[in-house]
Amino acid sequence: MNPEIPNLEQKEKIKIQNTSEFKAAVEKALESPENSKDLLCEAEKWLEDVKNNPENYPNYSPEKDGGRWLDHQEYTLFKAYRSQEDWDGANRIIESIKSTPHAEKNNSKQGRIDILSKEIETANQKS
């Protein structure tokens, strides 16, 4: 089971319904640090919903593209959490990647795990 995505009190309510809105939320999070955790958590919740309820999102089905779309979005979210030094968020994405359908066909998973391990090790050495 993946670690739980925090429910945060959002200063600005957003509703993500497609890839464009997902990307806009991630970009806005990177531009405005005061709202970044809220926006990234909302983006993560939407992505988990897409992953867990593919029948509700036929355009994003892993059967269509072998899981590439989901892999790209998870990587986008992973990079955003990493850039904010939100290691809990980055780790949730790693755990999510491990349980992603078709992940075994994609070599990027291990690379992200390696990157996260190095980042956390570096952050711990600075502490």
Position 58 in a domain: yes
pLDDT at 30 over 90: yes
Position 84 in a domain: yes
pLDDT of residue 66: 76
Position 12 in a domain: no
Q: How far is CA 59 from the centre of its chain?
A: 19
How far is the CA of 121 from the CAs of 35, 90, 114, in angstroms? 27, 14, 11
Distance CA 108, CA 18 (A): 23
Distance CA 71, CA 77 (A): 10
pLDDT of residue 119: 76
Position 4 in a domain: no
Position 25 in a domain: yes
Position 3 in a domain: no
Position 9 in a domain: no
pLDDT of residue 33: 80
Number of domains in the chain: 1
Confidence of residue 10 (pLDDT cuts 50, 70, 90): very low
Q: Which of 4-18, 55-69, 74-88 has the lowest mean pLDDT?
A: 4-18
Position 13 in a domain: no
**Domain extent at residue 77:** 19-126
pLDDT at 15 over 80: yes
Mean pLDDT calculated for residue range 85-106: 76
